[in-house]
Amino acid sequence: MFVYFWRLTQQTGRRCRMMAPDTSNAVTSCGCKGIRRCLICEQNKGEVQLEASKPKVVHHFVYNPETRQADGEGAEAPSFPFPGVFLWEDFISEEEEKELISTIDKDAWNQSQSGRRKQDFGPKVNFKKKKVRMGDFCGLPALSQKLMLRMHQDPHLAGFHPVEQCNLDYHPRRGSAIDPHLDDSWLWGERLVTVNMLSDTTLTMSLEQGLPELGLAGEVRVAVRLPRRCLVVLRGEARHRWKHGIHREDVRERRVCSTYRELSAEFLPGGEQAELGAQLLNIALSFRGTPV
């Protein structure tokens, strides 16, 4: 049972709900809905009730961060430019990672879909109706302030001011994964920034329609290897054209990641909702937040 209490932020006057943390990796329940799956619900439903996926043609490539090319498997396999991915290895140190995980685990984890757990620091959003409300949002967590300042040291992240942070917890015992998807572009801006912690993994970029210009029919996948303690940025085509996801087989140990999102042009100075955007940023960058 969670123990609830409230505190009042000095800057916004909003009440922030805090809950006793759950740092276990218990696998007794899940948050899957619709077609989402994890090991827990698969065991409960049984193999017979789950739809079998149809075999399909898939072309596999691996992203090379030095050349920024997607290299095909085999010496004579084709390669093609793959812009929009920036990888910053050793973005945090071992000591910082230990401190971050210890602090993150003090807050409650909520069940999410596909075997994940999550902590949200951001406004309440209805993407279908395109509505935003503050809710209990009272800022990004304090631990992210120094990380944001470090991000600004690289030209790829100049002027990056996140307004939302989502922490996700993956574990192989839960069959954790995240399906290929495109992040919203009405509220969220050009750059998606993720800090990868506790274990290496692979971010899979995919195009279901293939690449006709290269003569590739069927799905095309580009594996982006994410070392432990790295930071990865998606922008441009990697943000808006290619879907991204984490496959279950690429989660071999516990993995925790923090994803940061900035505002779109509509919510920045000169945009139709600039006033709301300024309010959101003012709250976010107070760095007084707790999960909402």
CATH number of the domain to which 192 belongs: 2.60.120.590
Q: What angle do CA 88, 91, 92 make, to 5 degrees?
A: 165
pLDDT tops 50 at residue 138: yes
Grade residue 37 by pLDDT with cuts at 50, 70 and 90.
low
Tokens for 247? 């496959």
- Per-residue confidence (pLDDT) for residue 156, from 0 to 100: 96
**What percentage of the chain carries pLDDT values higher than 90?**
77
The pLDDT score that the predictor gives to residue 36 is 63
Domain for residue 123, yes or no?
yes
The residue range of the domain holding 263 is: 56-284
124 domain-assigned: yes
pLDDT at 223 over 70: yes
pLDDT of 28 reads 59
Note the pTM of the prediction, 2 decimals.
0.85
8 in any annotated domain: no
pLDDT digits (tens, 9 = 90+) for 151-167: 999 999 999 999 999 99
Q: Tens of pLDDT along 199-217? A: 999 999 999 999 998 899 9
Task: Decide if 1 is inside a domain.
Answer: no
Is 174 a member of any domain? yes
Query: What's the pLDDT band for 54 if we cut at 50, 70, 90?
Result: low
Asked whether residue 21 is domain-assigned, the answer is no
Examine residue 90 and state whether it is found in any structural domain, yes or no: yes
Residue 7 pLDDT class (50, 70, 90 cuts): very low
Assign 3-state DSSP to the chain and report helix, strand, coil percentages, each to 5: 20, 35, 45
127 pLDDT more than 70:
yes
Selection from 181, 239, 220 nearest residue 70 by Cα? 220
Q: Which three-class secondary structure state does DSSP give residue 229?
A: coil
Are the C-beta atoms of residues 168 and 118 closer than 8 Å to each other?
yes
**Structure confidence at residue 25 (pLDDT):** 56
Q: Is the pLDDT of residue 181 over 80?
A: yes
Mean pLDDT, the chain, rounded, equals 88
- Rounded (10°) CA dihedral 28, 31, 34, 39: -40
CA distance 245 to 202: 9
Cα separation, 266 vs 276, in Å, equals 10
Our count of domains for the chain comes to 1
In order of 20, 146, 225, 237, the CA distances from 245 in angstroms are 30, 27, 12, 15
